[in-house]
Amino acid sequence: MSGAQQHNIGRSVVRPDVRDKVTGATRFGGDLCGPEVLSASVVRAAHAHAKVIRVDFSKAKAIDGVIAVLGRDDIKGTNRHGLIKRDHPVFCDERVRYRGDAIAVVIATTPEAAKLGRDAVEVEYEALPVIATMADAQADGAERIHEFGNVLATQLIRKGDAAKALGESDVVVTRTFAMGGVDHAFLDLEAGYAEMDGDVVTIHASGQWVHEERRLIALALGLPVERVRIVQPPTGGAFGGREDISIQIYLGLAALTLGKPVRMQYTREESMVARHKRHPMEIEYTLGATRDGTLTAAKVIIRSDEGAYASTGPAVLRKAVSHCTGPYRVPHVEADGVALFTNNCPTGAMRGFGACQLAIAYEGAVLAVARELGMDVVELKKKNLVRDGDSITTGQVIPVASAIDCLDAALDRFHWNARRKDHPAPHLRRGYGVSTICFGLGYGDGYPDASRARVRFAEDNVLEVYSGGVDVGQGLHSLLAQIAGEEFGIDASRVRVIASDTALTPESGSSSATRQTLFSGNAVKLAAGEVHRQVMDAAAVMLGLHWEDLAIKGDRIVGIHHENVATPLAFVLSGARARGFTLDSTAVYKPRTVAPTDQSGRSPRAFLTYMFGSHAAEVIVDIETGEVRVERIVAAHDVGKAINPREVEGQIEGGVAQGLGMALMEEVVTRQGRILNASFTDYIIPTILDVPRIEAVIVERADLEGPHGARGVGEPPLIGAVPAILAAISDAIGHPVEQTPATAERVWKIIHQDNAEHLT
């Protein structure tokens, strides 16, 4: 670095992890190995719902190469895990509740022997009625999946008098929406490695919150947390899909019980069958407005398919309810949500959870009101979108409400007013759609949400950041280096990041809820700021000046008023250390949010802050086949401040592509609790031919809480994409599109439902 001051913030620095990723040198969980490593394979349930009568390991144990078969009797701690309710058995005891339920884990000298052993474990079942749908779960006399019944949670919002206001509205629309389950489909399958290091079980596996995973693993293994260490390897995507425990307890149990290194890896099929999914939801949405297009009231009924276990379900339902009217001012709201257990794959966290399903519903309802009023939807939106200082449905006042800024930015870039109205061919219809969404960042709702970070100058004078926050591919660690370096004018590339290792790093919360930029970014900034003060304090002592008269400039500490004072920073750091000064600080960022009241479900600060976004999409629909091509998407998001603009664009582009998948093609198809498309042959995610050029527009209205005004960006791009695409299809075919995914078959059916009178 030359003497010039480096600025990290707002600069598209190259992430340090990328070089090894382009050469193949990066070692993901499945790349880890060691001498004499054993292999593990999990025995899964053969029924979606059944009593377990008898389990017999003897045939499996007799197989050549099989070392051990471990089941519930080998669990020394709690035979349960789960993020909110601990209801998910590590190994099933008396009952299996979905086809991914685990019975045992087989450990063998080779992966092949482990699989043979797995297939040789004998389980006798007594089948129970399968609760395949939410209707089944609610039916009179339905079999109870859990002792307390089939209702996991309910949530509500009561604001004003929705029934009365709807009665007095000039127009009222009621629409029903349905969203299918979605798989995260990260490419890096669940895979990892565990070994004993003295009496510490060390597990190398990818999750999203190493410290919480350690707690759950330690509980299951019956060990104090100090005897479990999680080291997160480079991780090939997560998107919420690594929030629940997957392979970690099996690996830890095997290493602990056998005292030998063990590895395991799911197949794509096992990954899809065992791992939680995005919640399928059914939403009945009634929205009222006055003749001039002012929204009056909303009544929203949400049913959420929870699958067999709770996972993050209660939080997902709450997020759905609290985001039920999105970025709109709606004076009267009555929302009721219920999460129902079924014998389907459990559903849990996935990018934009709860908020993305509701965005489909409120944007669909707003479109229906516009149609009913014969009003341009952009005009209707602008009339009702929250502005700075307005409150949204939870009651929270939004100081920086940039929905309209984002909408304008998206429409501008799109050249919305100049959009072509012609159709490319008689059977090819062009259509346009626009969405506006909002999203509360962090866990919110009074949940204790915090990030901690340690910053120090190491003995070699390199600035170090210690964070428990995991990088799942989004570039968190590079971002933390930018923020820490900025405090000293040190280029991000020269900052060393030590991360996501429970033995070395402080607890920094999960990489989820679009929270790491905001939470860990702030924690790092606080700690780095304190280390900066420590350095200046030492420099002042060494130079005989007041610290306020000194500044760091490039590699040197200089006098602000004394031009002749200039000392290398490295000299000050060494001198400080020799004098016994501390150059090391740990900071906690732990802001307060407020839990909703039971009666109203409202809260003055449900979330720390909100972010807004708006997408404009163009599609072409083949009305003979129902096939949809997305031609163009512009996605504008107010990220507050783009700390690394290129990476922010990358998050927006990736989120839009996943939204496109959810809108058009991705659906976990389940019959009687069995997933019918548990492979990449049958579960289709967007290819490079499906995704058009995505135009990311970065809006920057500084956040009041975020580091350097930054909010984050992870989830909202997916949330905005789906309703924009659905609205564009609807524009092209002249019918509402209210079910995801809008597959060719479904679109064709919608077009032909009434002889396509709109198309002539």
Binding site for ligand FES (CB under 6 A): 187, 236-237, 473
Handedness of CA 460, 461, 463, 466 (dihedral sign): positive
Residue 93 binds to other proteins (criterion: CB under 8 A): no
Least distance from other proteins to the Cβ atom of residue 646, Å: 4
Candidates 26-34, 50-58, 145-153, 329-337; binding stretch for other proteins (CB under 8 A)? 26-34
Contact with other proteins (CB under 8 A) among 237, 399, 559, 591: 237
Q: Binding other proteins by CB under 8 A: which of 8, 9, 28, 674? A: 28
Shortest Cβ 236–ligand FES spacing (Å): 6
Q: Which does 189 bind (CB under 5 to 8 A by kind): ligand FES, other proteins, none?
A: other proteins
Tokens of 603: 């809260």
Among residues 51, 61, 86, 268, the one that binds other proteins under rule CB under 8 A? 268
Place of tokens 């004018």: 489
Contact partner at residue 611 from ligand FES, other proteins, none, CB < 5 to 8 Å by partner kind: none
Query: Which residues, including other chains, have CB under 8 Å from residue 568's CB and lie 6 or more apart?
Result: 555, 556, 557
Q: How far is the CB of 723 from other proteins (least distance, A)?
A: 18
Rule CB under 8 A: say whether 125 interacts with other proteins. no
Nearest-approach distance from CB 205 to ligand FES, in angstroms: 18
CA 265 to chain centre: 23
Are 342 and 134 contacting, i.e. CB atoms less than 8 angstroms apart? yes
In terms of CB distance, is 65 or 237 closer to ligand FES? 237
Q: Where are the beta strands (DSSP E) in 113-190?
A: 122-127, 151-159, 171-179
Q: Rounded to the nearest whole angstrom, what is the least distance from the CB of residue 517 to other proteins in the complex? A: 15
Residue 80's region, left for phi above 0, alpha for psi from -120 to 50, else beta, is beta
* CB of 238 vs other proteins, minimal distance in Å: 8
Q: Are the C-beta atoms of residues 227 and 202 closer than 8 Å to each other?
A: no
Secondary structure (3-state) at 96: strand
DSSP state of 715: S
From the list ligand FES, other proteins, none, partner contacted by residue 163 (C-beta under 5 to 8 A by kind):
none
Contact call for residues 372 and 366 (beta carbons, < 8 A): no
Binding flag, residue 493, other proteins (CB under 8 A): no
Query: In the bound complex, what is the minimum distance in angstroms from residue 661's beta carbon to other proteins?
Result: 9
| Three-state SS at 270 | helix
Residue 560 tokens, joined: 């602000």
Give the CA distances from residue 52 to residues 47, 59, 154, 290, 381, in Å, rounded to whole numbers and listed in that order: 10, 18, 30, 58, 55
Q: Which of 206-240 are b and which e, b meaning 16 or more Cβ less than 10 Å from the residue's Cβ? A: bbbbbbbbbbbbbbbbebeeebbbbbbbbbbbbbb
Rule CB under 8 A: say whether 35 interacts with other proteins: no
Q: Give the one residue of 186, 309, 589, 607 binding other proteins; rule: CB under 8 A.
A: 186
Contact region for other proteins (CB under 8 A) — 164-172, 235-243, 256-264, 612-620?
A: 235-243
Segment 692 to 731, residues that bind other proteins, using CB under 8 A: 693-694
Q: At its nearest, how many Å lie between other proteins and the CB of residue 678?
A: 11
Please say whether the beta carbons of 296 and 165 come within 8 A: yes
DSSP string, 722-742: HHHHHHHHHHHHTS---EES-
Q: Rounded CA gap, 710 and 520, in Å?
A: 12
> Is residue 653 within the footprint of other proteins (CB under 8 A)?
yes
* 8 Å CB contact between 490 and 531: no
Q: According to the binding rule CB under 8 A, does residue 680 interact with other proteins?
A: yes
Shortest spacing between CB 477 and other proteins, in angstroms: 13
Contact call for residue 295 and other proteins (CB under 8 A): no
266 binds other proteins (CB under 8 A): no
Residue 24 in the binding site for other proteins (CB under 8 A): yes
189 binds other proteins (CB under 8 A): yes
Residue 110 binding partner per list ligand FES, other proteins, none, with a CB distance cut-off of 5 to 8 Å that depends on partner kind: other proteins
User: Which residues are 556's β-sheet partners?
Assistant: 553, 568
Write down the least CB distance from residue 241 to other proteins, Å: 10
Nearest distance in Å: CB 738, other proteins: 25
Distance CA 54, CA 51 (A): 9
Give least dist CB 29 to ligand FES, A.
Answer: 14
561 near other proteins, rule: CB under 8 A: no
**Is 457 an interacting residue with respect to other proteins (CB under 8 A)?**
no
Alpha-carbon distance of 22 to 14, in angstroms, equals 13
Q: Which does 658 bind (CB under 5 to 8 A by kind): ligand FES, other proteins, none?
A: other proteins
CA distance 507 to 501: 9
Give the whole-angstrom CA distance, residue 288 versus residue 162.
9
Residue list 609-648, contact with other proteins (CB under 8 A): 646-647
Cis peptide before 716 (omega within 30 of 0): no
Give residue number: closest CB to ligand FES. Answer: 187
Task: Pick from 78, 138, 267, 461 the residue near other proteins by CB under 8 A.
Answer: 267
Q: Which helix (H) or strand (E) holds 557?
A: strand 556-559
- Residues 548, 510: Cα–Cα separation, whole Å: 37
Using the minimum distance from each CB to ligand FES, give the nearer residue, 189 or 320.
189
By the rule CB under 8 A, 36 interacts with other proteins: no
Q: How far is the CB of 237 from ligand FES (least distance, A)?
A: 5
Binder of residue 170, out of other proteins, ligand FES, none (CB less than 5 to 8 A by kind): none
For other proteins, the binding residues (CB under 8 A) are: 12, 14-15, 17-19, 21-28, 30-31, 33, 110-112, 184-189, 234-237, 239, 267-268, 472-475, 646-647, 649-650, 652-658, 679-681, 685, 687-689, 691, 693-694
